Amino acid sequence: MQLECPSRFRWLEKQSVRESFAQDVALGLSQHPRRLPCRYFYDAQGSQLFEEICSLPEYYLTRAEHQILERYAAQIVGQAPAGLSMVELGSGSASKTRLLFSAYLQFHSRLCYVPIDISPSMLEESSQQLLADYAGLEILGVAAEYEPGLTALRRLPKGPKMILWLGSNVGNLHRTEASGFLTKVVSAMEETDFLLLGVDLRKDSQVLLRAYDDAQGVTARFNLNLLARINRELDANFQLDAFRHQVNYDEEAGRVEMYLSSQRVQKVQLRRLGLEIDWQAGERLHTENSYKYSPAELDRLVHSTGLRFLGRWSDDQGRFALTLLTRS
């Protein structure tokens, strides 16, 4: 896709994940228990399915975060000066981020947006629409995983940044990994920078299970699309109807776990990798964790990274939290 406004868009970084995808699939399917990184959900088809998930009645996360931003976007960006670069980790369609754009551009004529996303197609599609809708917006696209994306920020023009990590994507990392990654984010920040962090909060297990196993089966299709992607890109022969979407909630860990469970004894060939994988009936492939945080756990996470709170907001039902942070 060619963007219609090339003078206001350029690539800051554009990487291919094909080789790392092949390596991670080979490693993950050869392990016991078998597992794959959840970042590989987001090819073009997976990204579209995730947009469908965000509109489902069971998936409260997007609505809760949207409500917070509707109410407090002006208060959040009001602390940022002119000349801001707004950097988003895992930007997707940037649907919620629009509320921050609108609030900031009410008071400033220009805004530089730096979306970091693993899916170049989603990034290009969303950028095209954003440039059409916001005259004061300039976009520097980064098609990469998080850590290379942070490295690319060194090439940004000097000036204040607000790094956005929304959607509770922090929940995909183990708690110690989340602390370690946020420490890397801090190392990419200057004293004048901000971090806006979205975190899903602990709640009733049935609410969580419905959010990750919806009645329409969209999340199941999203999960199974990972196997379809392996078929497409690695010349594999997964039979999608031979696997079932499964969700578990570990109350003690505060963690939703997503799996694909083999429904029978079977063999799967991944011809590009030269692999043949034997599956037992009931054997599971782990595809995602989503950690939920209590207020005390969120405090510990922030303090472990040397960040400090500038503001904290929640939705009406206390399901989700947005925190504005800066370096201590």
* DSSP for residue 166: -
The pTM assigned to this predicted structure is 0.94
pLDDT score, position 58:
98
Q: What angle do CA 232, 237, 243 make, to 5 degrees?
A: 105
If you average pLDDT over every residue of the chain, what do you get?
Answer: 94
**Alpha-helical segments (H) within 1-59:** 18-30, 44-54
CB 259 within 8 A of CB 242: no
**Amino acid (one-letter) located at 179:** S
Does position 10 have pLDDT exceeding 50, yes or no?
yes
**Alpha-helical segments (H) within 78-154:** 97-105, 120-133, 146-152
Cα dihedral: 212, 125, 226, 218 (round 10): 30
pLDDT digit string, tens, across residues 61-116: 999 999 999 999 999 999 899 999 999 999 988 999 999 999 999 999 999 999 99
Does position 188 have pLDDT exceeding 70, yes or no?
yes
3-class secondary-structure state, position 294:
coil
Q: What angle do CA 174, 218, 31 make, to 5 degrees?
A: 40
pLDDT digit string, tens, across residues 156-185: 988 999 999 999 999 999 999 999 999 999
CB 140 within 8 A of CB 109: no
Taking residues 49-64, report their average pLDDT.
Answer: 97
**CA-to-CA separations, 37 to 23, 24, 27, 172, 177, in angstroms, rounded:** 11, 8, 11, 9, 14
Percent of the chain at pLDDT exceeding 70: 98
CATH number of the structural domain 6-16+53-204+293-327: 3.40.50.150
CB 177 within 8 A of CB 291: no
Residue 117 CA to chain centroid, in angstroms?
8
Percent of the chain at pLDDT exceeding 90: 89
Please state which of the ranges 6-10, 203-207, 289-293 shows the lowest mean pLDDT: 6-10
Taking residues 116-124, report their average pLDDT.
Answer: 89
Does position 51 have pLDDT exceeding 70, yes or no?
yes
pLDDT digit string, tens, across residues 192-214: 999 999 999 999 999 999 999 99
Burial of 231 (0-12, 13-18, 19+ CB in 10 A): middle
CB 276 within 8 A of CB 297: no
Band of pLDDT at residue 17, cut at 50, 70 and 90:
confident
Does position 3 have pLDDT exceeding 60, yes or no?
no
Instruction: List, in order, residues 6 or more apart from 81 with CB less than 8 Å away.
Output: 160, 192
Beta strands in the chain (DSSP E): 9-14, 34-35, 85-89, 111-117, 137-143, 161-165, 194-200, 243-250, 255-262, 266-270, 275-279, 284-291, 307-314, 320-327
Band of pLDDT at residue 4, cut at 50, 70 and 90:
very low
Band of pLDDT at residue 5, cut at 50, 70 and 90:
very low
**Residue among 277, 279, 321 at smallest CA distance from 302:** 321
Distance, CA of 76 to CA of 89 (rounded, Å): 18
